[in-house]
Amino acid sequence: MDTTGTLDEALQRLHTSGPERLGRLTNHAPMAVEALSVHGQASSVHRWLDLYARKLEEFPSRVEPVTAANWHTALGDPRRAADWIGHFEREIADRPWRDVLAQWWPRLLPGLYGGSTHPLIRVGHAVRTLLAGESTAPRLAELAHGLGYWAARHHPVAELVALPGADSAAAALDAVPPIAEMQGTFPDRLARVTGLPVWAATCTDPDQARLHLAELVRAATHRYATHGHGDEIMLVHAATAPNAVLRTLPALPRTLWAPSLRAAWTASAAVTAMYAPGTPVAFTPPGVLTPDEVFERALEHGDEHVIKLTDTALDIGDEAALAAALRSMELSEPLR
C-alpha cells in the first residue's frame, strides 16, 4: 500500500467531484488511483488523473439529509447521491467504519446491480485500502462516497428462475443463457434476465463461501480472455464485481459471507447473460510477461477498465488471468 501520501492527496482531489457524469456514467477515478497505488505506481497517479480529469463533474447538490427515519424512501434515488454520501460521512465519523459497513452491507447487497455494479466495486477498493493501512480521513471519506453512491443507485433484481447449474464456477458461467435482445442500457438488459444457473446455492459455511468466491473471480477473469469481445467494457464487471465482494469479506461478520457469495454469483452471471458473445475467440498473449510488466502496460494504456481488470488479474496471478488483462488492452481504446 502507498505510504507516500499520494493516494490520500488523490482522493481529496476527487472528493470534490461527483460519483457520475452525464447522469449515468460512473466516475472510475477513485478505483483506478487506488489500484495504481497498490501496485507501486503512486508516482503516476496525478499524471493519470490529469488525463482523466475531463471525465469528472462537480459534486452534486444536496436535496434533504438522509436520516434513520427516512432512509428507506431515499434508497435507490440517484438524485440523493450527495445526501447519502453526507449520511455515511456522519455515520463513519461517529462509529467505527467496520460497524457502519456491517450494518449497511446486508441492506445494500440486494441492490448491488445499480450503477452497473460500480458502487459495489468502489466500496471494495475503499475497504482494501482501509484493511491494508492507516484509516486516514481521505480513505474513510472514500468509503463514505462509495457507500453513498451504492445507496443512491440501489437497484434490486426481480425473482429469478433457478436454471440447471454446474459443479464449477467456470462451467456455471458457460451455462448462463444469453438474454433474447443484446441491446439497450444496463438496466434495460438487466430487466430481461429472468433466470440463471444454480451454483454454490447451498453453501452456508463462511470459509467455503470465501473459496467459492475466489473460484468465481478466477473463472470470470479467465473467461474474459476468450469472451471479452462481446463487450470489452461491461464484461470486465463479471470479474471485478465479485472481486469487490471477496476483498470486503475480511471486514464483514462471517455470517454475511455466504449471502455475499450468492449475490456476487448473481451479479457475475447476470452480466454474463447481458453481454457475453455466443462464440469464444482464442487469444494468444504477446509473449511471457511478469505481473509487474503487465500492470505497467495497463498503466501505459490508461483505460480505467483495463487498469481495474488488470488489478483483479494480479490478485489471481496465473498466466490465464494475465492473458485476460492483456486481452482487455487489445480490445479497449487507450486513455489519451
Residue 25 lies in a domain: yes
Residue that is last in its domain, among 152, 168, 196: 152
Domain count, the chain: 2
Residue 88 lies in a domain: yes
Q: For residue 28, which amino acid is it?
A: H
Nearest to 268 by CA among 184, 318, 331, 199: 199
Judgement on whether residues 127 and 163 belong to the same structural domain of the protein: no
Judgement on whether residues 277 and 238 belong to the same structural domain of the protein: yes
Judgement on whether residues 202 and 97 belong to the same structural domain of the protein: no
Cα–Cα distance between 168 and 199 in angstroms, integer?
Answer: 7
- Per-residue pLDDT, 170: 98
Residue that is last in its domain, among 152, 171, 198: 152
Percentage of the chain lying above the pLDDT 70 cut: 99
Contact, 334 vs 303, CB < 8 A? yes
Contact, 12 vs 138, CB < 8 A? yes
Nearest to 320 by CA among 170, 107, 97, 186: 170
Nearest to 118 by CA among 197, 13, 29, 35: 29
Judgement on whether residues 183 and 118 belong to the same structural domain of the protein: no
Judgement on whether residues 72 and 167 belong to the same structural domain of the protein: no
List the domain range (segments joined by +) for residue 306: 158-336
Instruction: Please state the pTM of the whole predicted model.
Output: 0.97
Residue 258 burial (CB count, 10 A): 21
Per-residue pLDDT of the chain (336 residues; tens, 9 = 90+): 665 799 999 999 999 999 999 988 999 999 999 999 999 999 999 999 999 999 999 999 999 999 999 999 999 999 999 999 999 999 999 999 999 999 999 999 999 999 999 999 999 999 999 999 899 999 999 999 999 999 999 999 989 999 999 999 999 999 999 998 889 999 999 999 999 999 999 999 999 999 999 999 999 999 999 999 999 999 999 999 999 999 999 999 999 999 999 999 999 999 999 999 989 999 988 878 999 999 999 999 999 999 999 999 999 999 999 999 999 999 999 998
Judgement on whether residues 148 and 170 belong to the same structural domain of the protein: no
Residue that is last in its domain, among 152, 173, 205: 152
Residue 303 lies in a domain: yes
Judgement on whether residues 210 and 144 belong to the same structural domain of the protein: no
Judgement on whether residues 14 and 138 belong to the same structural domain of the protein: yes
* DSSP secondary structure letters along 225-257: HHHGGG-TTGGGHHHHHHHHHHHHGGGS-GGGH
Judgement on whether residues 37 and 109 belong to the same structural domain of the protein: yes
Judgement on whether residues 206 and 313 belong to the same structural domain of the protein: yes
- Per-residue pLDDT, 198: 96
Residue 164 lies in a domain: yes
3-state secondary structure of 286: coil
Q: Which residues contact 251 (CB under 8 A, 6 or more apart)?
A: 98, 101, 102, 127, 130, 131
Residue 19 lies in a domain: yes
Residue 75 lies in a domain: yes
Match 504477446 to its residue by C-alpha cell: 286
C-alpha cell at 168: 464449477
Residue 34 lies in a domain: yes
Residue 1 lies in a domain: no
Q: Extract the runs of DSSP E, i.e. beta strands, from 144-254.
A: 161-163, 195-197
3-state secondary structure of 195: strand
Judgement on whether residues 209 and 335 belong to the same structural domain of the protein: yes
Number of Cα atoms under 13 Å in the Cβ half of residue 59: 15
DSSP 179: P
Judgement on whether residues 147 and 25 belong to the same structural domain of the protein: yes
